[in-house]
């Protein structure tokens, strides 16, 4: 029987064609469509995609190559899109063949650390098992390390995590997230993480204008709109809310819209009149201005209220 000749290796790779056929363009376009602003973050994701495309091309041409270290750190304030970008990164890595499944497993300390001896290792290993072939996203990762509590079992989870990050880096990407200053202290106290994480991406706060756009997009996705006065009130709300405690960027905007919809529903119900589609779909200025944000975050008795 004749030997079957192996296919010759290509002598050149069209990176733009790879960009199109791999699905990377689709992921990046989804990122642009779903997230307003965050240009520095999007640029870093595009650069990472280019790095991986070049790595694939080097492999295809038989050039020396090492699989890039893909573990990452996302730093920034709450509500700046870190989880959404992690989901898109999982899809990007899957399309390029760097993870088998492309799913995202999002966890916090409570999912990894046990409360008694012998509890932590099984919990952590079970999470690792679920995340294999995809991306493990650890939010507020610094809470794993509590040196002031000698009975804390976070260090055990850290040791298991470090071992898996090193030994299974061709089958698992870990993204650690949290406030920038706390993540810096965490990495300083646990240098094993810093040496394993190659990509550090900082997520800036949204501007007032971007948060206004985000509010409109959130409403649109739920089948609602602002009237003209409500849109102006939303701009004012954003500027005021940023100056008050517990501000969480897009997360705070989502909470504000949920409460505005609640007020709208009560307003329409109490009106005791037939309502049409426009009334059911419109958030008015009154629905927003009932927020305590416009009174400095104080309830009717003059006490500061957290739910604003």
* Residue 7: per-residue pLDDT: 64
Span 194-231, pLDDT tens digits: 889 989 999 999 999 999 999 999 999 999 999 999 99
Measured distance CA(75)–CA(300) in Å, rounded: 37
Q: Please, what's the b/e burial string for 182-202 (b: 16 or more CB within 10 A of its CB; e: otherwise)?
A: ebbebbeebeebeeebebbbe
Whether 15-203 shares its CATH topology with 208-295 is answered no
- Look at the domain 208-295 and name its fold: Helicase, Ruva Protein; domain 3 (1.10.8)
Q: Are 45 and 92 in contact (CB under 8 A)?
A: yes
Residues of the chain short of pLDDT 50, as ranges, are 1-2, 4, 299-303, 305, 307
Our CA dihedral for 13, 14, 16, 20, rounded to 10 degrees, sits at -80
Q: Are 275 and 264 in contact (CB under 8 A)?
A: no
Calculate the alpha carbon distances from 165 to 128, 136, 159, 196 in Å. Answer: 10, 10, 10, 7
Long-range contacts of the stretch 34-39 (C-beta < 8 A, 24+): 34/84, 34/88, 35/81, 35/84, 35/85, 36/206, 36/210, 36/213, 36/214, 36/217, 37/204, 37/206, 37/207, 37/210, 38/80, 38/81, 38/85, 38/203, 38/204, 38/206
Nearest Cα to Cα of residue 162 among 134, 128, 130, 135: 128
* Residue 302: per-residue pLDDT: 42
* Residue 301: per-residue pLDDT: 39
Output the pTM of the full model. 0.87
Cα three-residue angle 47-49-50, rounded to 5 degrees: 65
Q: Where are the alpha helices (DSSP H) in 197-249?
A: 208-221, 228-242
> In the chain, where are the structural domains located?
15-203, 208-295
Q: What architecture does CATH give domain 15-203? A: 3-Layer(aba) Sandwich (3.40)
């Amino acid at each position: 029987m004749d030997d079957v000749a192996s296919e010759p290796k290509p002598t050149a790779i069209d990176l733009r064609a790879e960009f199109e056929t791999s699905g990377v363009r689709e992921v990046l376009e989804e990122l642009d469509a779903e997230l307003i602003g965050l240009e520095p973050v999007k640029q870093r994701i595009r650069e990472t995609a280019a790095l991986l495309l070049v790595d694939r091309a080097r492999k295809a041409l038989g050039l020396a190559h090492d699989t890039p270290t893909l573990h990452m750190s996302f730093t920034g304030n709450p509500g700046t899109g870190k989880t959404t970008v992690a989901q898109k990164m999982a899809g990007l890595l899957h399309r390029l063949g760097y993870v088998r499944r492309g799913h995202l497993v999002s966890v916090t300390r409570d999912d990894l650390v046990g409360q008694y001896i012998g509890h932590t290792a099984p919990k952590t290993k079970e999470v690792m098992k679920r995340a294999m072939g995809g991306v493990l996203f650890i939010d507020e990762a610094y809470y794993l390390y509590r040196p002031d509590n000698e009975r804390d079992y976070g260090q055990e989870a850290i040791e298991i995590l470090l071992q898996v990050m090193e030994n299974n880096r061709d089958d698992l990407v870990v993204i650690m997230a949290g406030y920038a200053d706390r993540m810096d202290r965490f990495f300083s106290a646990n240098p094993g993480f810093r040496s394993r994480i190659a990509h550090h991406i900082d997520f800036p706060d949204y501007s007032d204008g971007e948060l206004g756009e985000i509010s409109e997009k959130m409403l649109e996705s739920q089948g609602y709109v602002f009237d003209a006065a409500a849109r102006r009130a939303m701009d004012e709300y954003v500027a005021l809310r940023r100056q008050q405690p517990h501000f969480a960027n897009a997360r705070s905007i989502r909470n504000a819209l949920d409460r505005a919809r609640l007020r709208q529903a009560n307003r329409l119900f109490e009106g005791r009149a037939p309502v049409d589609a426009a009334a059911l779909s419109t958030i008015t200025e009154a629905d927003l201005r009932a927020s305590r944000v416009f009174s400095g975050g104080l309830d009717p008795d003059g006490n500061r209220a957290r739910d604003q």
